[in-house]
Amino acid sequence: MHVVVNAAESVDGKIATREREQLRISGPEDFARVDRLRASVDAVMVGVETVRSDDPSLTLDDESLVATRTADGKSPHPARVVADSRGRTPPEARVLDDTAETYILTSEATTDEYRRSLEEGDATPIVAGSDRVDLGAAFEALAAHGIESIMVEGGGELIFSLFAADLVDELRVYVGSMIVGGRGAPTLADGDGFVGAFPDLSLESVERLDDGVLLEYDVTDADRGD
């Protein structure tokens, strides 16, 4: 699985406010870039807290990208993937509509009944892990469904877990010209944090977009002692 993490943060590293409300950090040029990145992958993934706070669609906005995918014999939109260990995706969430295929990654902590309710709504549950989603095992299961590339949009808990499991190949960060503050506001990578050894990033490009900067990194080494 090729994994690209993409997120937008403020200058002080926040991806949302302390109230966890959705924050418009990107401008039009960056949102268009995100749409192109979505169009280039097999699936777009978020954590369930992002679904609960932002209710994203995770589909393509630009109809010409939809047309290009269709002409290439692909589904009109990439599949949607939610990491949701305990079955907390609201039934009315936009990721569960019929615009695109959706996979809900769950753990054994969810019930058969919950998983059946997802299937009745045309989403595909994948069980990986006993208490929390085992992301490596889940990606193997997604690969069996033909998903070979995935773009992860957040939030900070999921992104940290992916780095901790050494599953990230590329990181793209848009830094918007704003300060958000708040010690409890989510950042690009939250979780328990690394101590002593950190993911090894190689800066590949820097580009000004709108009133901010896009930073693109390759993740080169998993030399972490956690």
Ligand X SMILES: Nc1nc(O)c(N)c(N[C@@H]2O[C@H](COP(=O)(O)O)[C@@H](O)[C@H]2O)n1
Residues that bind ligand NAI (CB under 6 A): 7-8, 15-16, 20, 22, 25, 46-50, 53-54, 83-85, 132-133, 135, 153-158, 161, 186, 190
Q: Would you count residue 212 as binding ligand X (CB under 6 A)?
A: no
Calpha distance 173→199 (Å, rounded)? 15
Q: Which is nearer to ligand NAI, 79 or 83 (CB)?
A: 83
Strand (E) positions, 77-191?
79-83, 102-106, 124-127, 149-154, 170-176
Provide the sign of the torsion angle of the four alpha carbons 176, 210, 99, 7, taken in this order: negative
φ, ψ for residue 117, nearest 5 deg: -65, -35
φ, ψ for residue 79, nearest 5 deg: -65, 160
Q: Which of 47, 78, 87, 154 binds ligand X (CB under 6 A)?
A: 154
Q: Minimum distance from CB of 198 to ligand NAI (Å)?
A: 18
Q: Which is nearer to ligand X, 56 or 199 (CB)?
A: 56
Q: Which is nearer to ligand NAI, 65 or 135 (CB)?
A: 135
Q: Minimum distance from CB of 181 to ligand NAI (Å)?
A: 15
> What are the distances in angstroms from CA 121 to CA 56, 116, 117?
18, 9, 6
> Which residues bind to ligand X, rule: CB under 6 A?
8, 22-26, 34, 46, 50, 54, 56-59, 153-154, 174
